[in-house]
């Protein structure tokens, strides 16, 4: 399929190059670091070879979320978003931008969200998991009431918020002690992000803001598979509940999932069965995954052609405002 739209497509800025953990073997990270800094020749060639017409660039994890000082986070987020805006201005038919926000400062994040959407024209937000507290030892999760004005603004602007993984802080990573192989995309990312998403659901956030749109990568971080059991057991908790509707309803109505980094047809079939094809989207997780491997799988996997079109492009155009009408390489 040509002209696919992808939006878990990571890039980095030199200021954050030294802050990236070794998510894979150090020798592999050397190549990944170089690809993260490239938004020109090599990345565009990969997009063309994979039939990806348009990428929404997102700042690499943990990015702004890993900054301790709120004032620094506000300054660096604005600087990063201005960099993204310039990249988009240079290649408007190939790139869009996912806003990166200083959630350490809830008001500053709301103001930067507004600037990114209304002035820079960004169609979405990428939050790289929780944000550090000023001492660097704690975590701000976004179900806290301090973020209600942020979520209200996100809903009113109509932009989806992509909740992307990051590793747990050392104080919360005891279960992985002695097993570093379970960190990152192997398992810790899934546990951290799925739990954060469940915190949003169980906080009553979607009762307050029923039109919020949240995106999860990797075919939903196992939530589509586990939701029946989660909902079944939480229904027995009575007065502990802070939410009004079945958790599966929030998953089906407020959440979208991408195929990024999970190119497995049975898992895709599960997501389609639980959410419907209107809530599944294409992405690759470049450069941690190969665009061509992702596209070769997606272009031939066992789904209907109508679902392939929805997932590959139509759904993105429906849920993201401000996407250009014409995308892709005009010389192709």
Q: Say if 146 falls within a structural domain.
A: yes
Instruction: Give the 3-state secondary structure of residue 111.
Output: helix
Task: Label the pairing between strands 280-281 and 131-132.
Answer: unpaired
CA-closest candidate to residue 258, choices 160, 121, 113, 159:
160
> How would residue 332 be classed by pLDDT, with cut points 50, 70 and 90?
low
Please tell me the predicted confidence (pLDDT) of residue 157.
98
Q: Say if 17 falls within a structural domain.
A: yes
Q: Say if 330 falls within a structural domain.
A: no
We report the CATH number of the domain holding residue 39 as 3.20.20.140
Average pLDDT on 50-74 reads: 97
Q: Say if 331 falls within a structural domain.
A: no
Contacts of the segment 235-241: beta carbons below 8 A, 24+ positions apart: 241/202
The token duo for 308 is 């392939």
Q: Judge residue 26's burial from the number of C-beta atoms within 10 Å of its C-beta, 0-12 exposed, 13-18 middle, 19 or more buried.
A: exposed
Please tell me the predicted confidence (pLDDT) of residue 236.
84
Q: Say if 328 falls within a structural domain.
A: no
Cα–Cα dist 1/8, whole Å: 18
Q: Say if 29 falls within a structural domain.
A: yes
The token duo for 123 is 């169609």
Average pLDDT on 67-87 reads: 98
Backbone angles phi, psi at 218, to 5 degrees: 60, 40
The token duo for 151 is 């979520």
Is 299 considered catalytic here? Answer: no
Cα–Cα dist 167/181, whole Å: 12
Average pLDDT on 50-72 reads: 97
Q: Say if 326 falls within a structural domain.
A: no
Domain, as residue range, for 170: 4-319
**Is pLDDT above 80 for 229?**
yes
Backbone angles phi, psi at 326, to 5 degrees: -100, 125
> How would residue 329 be classed by pLDDT, with cut points 50, 70 and 90?
confident
> How would residue 18 be classed by pLDDT, with cut points 50, 70 and 90?
confident
Q: Say if 332 falls within a structural domain.
A: no
Percent of the chain with pLDDT over 70: 99
Q: Which entry of 41, 82, 211, 285 is annotated as an active-site residue?
A: 285
Query: Based on the structure, what is the number of domains in the chain?
Result: 1
126-130, 279-283, 311-315, 326-330: least confidently modelled range: 326-330
């Amino acid at each position: 399929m040509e002209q696919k739209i992808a939006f878990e497509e990571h890039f980095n800025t030199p200021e954050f190059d030294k802050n990236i953990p070794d998510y894979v073997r150090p020798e592999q990270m050397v190549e990944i670091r170089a690809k993260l800094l490239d938004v020109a020749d090599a990345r565009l060639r990969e997009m063309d070879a994979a039939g990806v017409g348009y990428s929404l660039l997102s700042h690499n994890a943990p990015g702004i979320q890993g900054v301790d000082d709120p004032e620094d986070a506000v300054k660096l987020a604005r600087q990063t978003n201005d960099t993204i805006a310039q990249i988009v201005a240079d290649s408007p038919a190939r790139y869009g931008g996912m806003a990166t926000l200083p959630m350490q400062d809830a008001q500053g994040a709301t103001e930067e969200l507004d600037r990114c959407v209304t002035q820079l024209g960004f169609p979405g937000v990428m939050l790289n998991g929780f944000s550090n507290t000023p001492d660097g030892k704690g975590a701000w999760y976004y179900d806290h009431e301090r973020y209600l004005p942020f979520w209200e603004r996100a809903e009113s602007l109509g932009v989806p918020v992509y909740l992307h993984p990051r590793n747990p802080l050392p104080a919360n990573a005891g279960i992985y002690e002695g097993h570093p192989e379970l960190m990152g995309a192997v398992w810790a990312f899934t546990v951290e992000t799925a739990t954060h998403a469940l915190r949003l659901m169980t906080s009553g956030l979607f009762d307050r803001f029923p039109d919020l749109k949240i995106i999860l990568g990797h075919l939903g971080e196992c939530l589509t598979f586990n939701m029946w059991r989660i909902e079944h057991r939480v229904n027995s908790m009575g007065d502990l509940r802070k939410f009004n509707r079945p958790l599966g309803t929030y998953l089906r109505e407020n959440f979208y999932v991408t195929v990024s980094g999970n190119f497995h047809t049975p898992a895709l079939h599960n997501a389609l069965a639980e959410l419907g094809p209107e809530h599944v989207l294409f992405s690759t997780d470049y450069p941690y995954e190969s665009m061509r491997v992702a596209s070769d799988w997606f272009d031939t996997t066992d789904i209907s052609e109508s679902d392939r079109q929805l997932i590959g492009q139509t759904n993105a155009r429906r849920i993201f405002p401000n996407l250009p009408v014409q995308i892709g390489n005009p010389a192709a």
